[in-house]
Structure 1
Amino acid sequence: MLSGRNSSHDVLHTLLALLVSLTSLVPPTAALPLGVVSQDPTTDSEARPAVGFADLLLAAQLIRFQSDSLKTQVCDKYLMCDSDMEILSHNGLHLPKITKEDGCYASDFNKEKCFQKISIGLYMYLPYLHFVQNDFGGEEKQIKNMQHATKHLADVIKMVLKDASGVKQMDKNEQQILLESLSLNQEWTRKLTISFILRDFTSFMEKIIRAVRYVQNS
């Protein structure tokens, strides 16, 4: 059973590594390390690279699959599953969510508005994923791969925007303050925080998948 799980992880690592190819769509100024954002976003539509939405869909599906897999592992390891956490929904994390007002639903779809919210949300999740990486023992490589894939996806979606001036990451000081505040919690609270982050991030990725699929099919 264990060998099967390891084999599955190896396949996921290989698939997520393929997401590096997405950076070929992004100018070097956009492919920066975590916590650093290009200060020179491209707004000229002719200068923006052509992005294959099939690639974006695949990337989002792989990240969502990875996040859901980790969420299941948290459930098994810490016995903190979605059904057990409903009474603890007031977690105060203020994680990014996609709502109808963000223009990502088919009934009122707005590609520019939706993709801006998606890119902002993905960047906002990065320090939270970094916290998961630091605190969820035994899966550092898996979570780090997912974190890098998320950063690449955010970069590429940002490049699709006509105006990306409002898409920013937390600066390093803000990230440090957030990580320190999360790390100061008691062990049980940190485990619960990891569960909330992965649950909401999985849901966020599901909505991204629907939005990208809608653009691809329209």
Structure 2
Amino acid sequence: MYLTAALISQVHASPLLESSGESEDFLGTTEDPSDAAVLNLEPLALFIWNIAMEQQKQQLCDYFLMCNGSASSLEIYRMDLPQIRKRDKCFQENFQKKKCLSKIIKKFQEYKKYLLFVRQWIKHDSRQVDAMLSSTKILVDLLPLESHIRERIAQQDKSNGAAFIQEQSSKKDWDKQVAIHVILKNFVLYMESTVRVVRFIKFIPTTVSL
């Protein structure tokens, strides 16, 4: 818990930017901050989101010389990466807590191989990627989901991280850096949705059945 507190202490409270598309905002949550039984994970989630944003911007500037943040020339490159979708029941309409948190945890497990690839091949200091990985692991471990569901998710994890890293590592440097850009961009969107989930469940009274 010391590490968690240290990470949270580095976050300054700031609103998350408005989103669009699959990562749309939650609308009209019922705020009841008196429910002390709900752990406030929003600062930790924002901390991870901020690191991912900064890494994406820095990589665009350092490698692609796109320091104004515009990456339109890279939009043609796509990868099938995990995202929080409406069918995952993570939005206010038809919100289902267990299914939503299960999907967040499962999709982080899928992201690990991609983030490990980023850590290996990113051009600037990889320590921030380490912080992002360890912080996301802490966040996922603290999500209020029963242990037997977590165990079932772990057993379902079929991803072959070593094979992916080996395959991508054999490519040219340009292709590797493009892959890093796409991974970071999508991880930012994943964390954007995750921030909204932890912000939402923080204000759900424990008496409400989900």
Q: Normalization by structure 2: what TM-score? A: 0.72
Aligned residue for 2:150, secondary structure, equals coil
Find the counterpart in structure 1 of residue 187 from structure 2.
Answer: 201
1:25 aligned residue: none
Q: 1:65 and 1:16 mapped to 2: Cα distance?
A: 16
1:74 offset after TM fit, Å? Answer: 1.2
Distance in structure 1 (CA, Å) of the matches to 2:131 and 2:93 = 34
Give the length in aligned residue pairs: 171
Change (3 A) 1:78 1:177: same
Residue aligning to 1:87: 76
Alpha carbons of structure 1 residues 216 and 138: separation in structure 2 relative to 1, 3 Å: same
Determine the structure 2 residue equivalent to 1:70: 55
The 1-side partners of 2:118 and 2:86 are apart by 28
Alpha-carbon deviations, 1:22-51, whole Å to 9, x = none?
xxxxxxxxxxxxxxxxxxxxxxxxxxxx97
- CA contact under 8 A between 1:53 and 1:212: conserved in structure 2? no
Kept in 2, the 8 Å contact 1:116–1:158? The answer is no
Q: How does 1:97-116 map to 2 (within 5 A)?
A: 97-116=83-102
SS in 2 for 1:98: coil
- Aligned counterpart in structure 1 of residue 124 of structure 2, from 138, 142, 163: 138
The percent identity for this pair of structures is 29
User: Structure 2: which amino acid aligns with 1:103?
Assistant: K
CA distance in 2, matches of 1:208, 1:124: 15
Q: CA, structure 1 residues 19+159, in 2 after alignment: closer, same or farther (shift >3 Å)? A: farther
- Corresponding residue number in structure 2 for 1:128: 114
The one-character-per-residue Cα deviations of 1:170-209 (angstroms, maximum 9, x if unpaired) are: 57x9221111011112111101000000000000000001
Structure 1 runs not aligned, ≥5 long: 1-14, 22-49
Paired residues of 2:8 and 2:43 also in contact (CA < 8 A):
no
Q: Deviations over 1:122-164 (max 9, x none)?
A: 1211121111111012321111111111122222227456622
TM-score by length of 1: 0.69
State the alpha-carbon separation in 1 of the partners of residues 84 and 5 from structure 2: 27
Alpha carbons 1:103, 1:113 under 8 Å: kept: yes
What pairs with 1:6-21 in structure 2 (closer than 5 Å)?
18-19=6-7
* 57 and 73 in structure 1: CA distance in 2 versus 1, 3 angstrom threshold: same
2:89 and 2:96 in contact (8 A); partners too: yes
Unaligned runs of 5+ residues in structure 2 are: 10-35, 205-210
* Residues 82, 17 of structure 1: alpha-carbon distance in 2 compared, 3 angstrom cutoff: farther
2:46 matched to which residue of 1?
A: 61
Change (3 A) 1:16 1:202: farther
Output the amino acid matched with 1:163: I
What is the alpha-carbon distance in structure 1 between the residues aligned to residue 140 and residue 203 of structure 2?
21
CA-based RMSD of the aligned residues comes to 2.7
Secondary structure class of the residue paired with 2:119: helix
Match of 2:21 in 1: none
Name the CA distance, whole Å, in 1 between partners of 2:125 and 2:174. 18
